[in-house]
Amino acid sequence: MSLKKSQVPSFFEALADECAASSSLVDEHLEFLHIIRSFDRIDITPAQLERDWYWLSADYGFGNASIALADILSAKKEGRRYIGTPSGWVDCTAPELDGLNLILDRYQEAASDAEATGRIGLSPMDLLRVSAGMNGAVAISGGTHDRHLLRRLFEFKPAEALPPPEGLKSSLRPYQVLGAEWLRFLFENGFGGVLCDDMGLGKTHEVMAFLLSLREHNGMDAPFLVVCPTTVLSHWDQKVKAHAPGLNPVVYHGGEGKRRFSTISRKKSKTCGRVSSVKTR
């Protein structure tokens, strides 16, 4: 029987029991060939980084060999399970590559450009999916600035460390700085997320620091809206007034069936809407 190299993995899979029982199935000079389902690194080379889109090339490494992300996505697009390499066959259905299924549709829209240049356009979330499930390291080449931005992304940190908020009247503990930076990381990359410190550890302070950073370093002067249960409205109001008075908190609430809020402006007050919240301006 003659087999193409691309057919060998399927042959082995079909005869798995026989392969396990045989002691002389493969010649000695071919014993180094195997089916590759895990990788020890990802090598990323950025070409152009924009706020919401990263153009880059990426390679999955295993031992002394590697395979391009573009080649894996092309094989998935064409329904090919295995890709032949000098070291064996990459299994495109390996669990470490499952995250790529979520970006396959977007890749198909620009597949010709990716296959020609080896560069792929990925959102920040897509780039995290590329490395999802990986046990190996992420190696980033390119300019210092681009390496810094991508490294911070993989570390789940904002592009820059959080400057001490000038409008915060209290100091943040080290873990609270990490919480505020986590919120900035989510904001910068358009992610949703959860801040889930235990009760009493200062989540309100972390949010205040985050809001002040948007005001002081991002130039945001529009009001922020914090929606919360009525049982903590007074808590939010007191904390903001005591620790970040520059946010100018205004409480909107009302009784059951009469939930109304008052908007306080420089000229007059007016009543409208149905919401329970604290609004900072």
pLDDT of residue 271: 35
- Residue range 196-239, pLDDT digits in tens: 888 888 899 999 999 999 999 888 888 898 888 888 889 999 99
pLDDT of residue 116: 64
Say how far apart CA 42 and CA 70 lie, in whole Å.
13
pLDDT of residue 199: 82
Question: pTM of the predicted model, to two decimals?
Answer: 0.70
Long-range contacts of 225-228 (CB under 8 A, 24+ apart): 225/277, 225/279, 226/277, 226/278, 226/279, 226/280, 227/275, 227/276, 227/277, 228/276, 228/277, 228/278
Reported as a pLDDT band with limits 50, 70 and 90, residue 256 is: low
Reported as a pLDDT band with limits 50, 70 and 90, residue 135 is: low
- Residue range 154-207, pLDDT digits in tens: 888 998 898 889 999 999 999 999 999 999 999 988 888 888 888 888 899 999
Say how far apart CA 56 and CA 3 lie, in whole Å.
36
Beta-carbon contacts of 65 under 8 Å, excluding residues fewer than 6 positions away, are 85, 86, 87
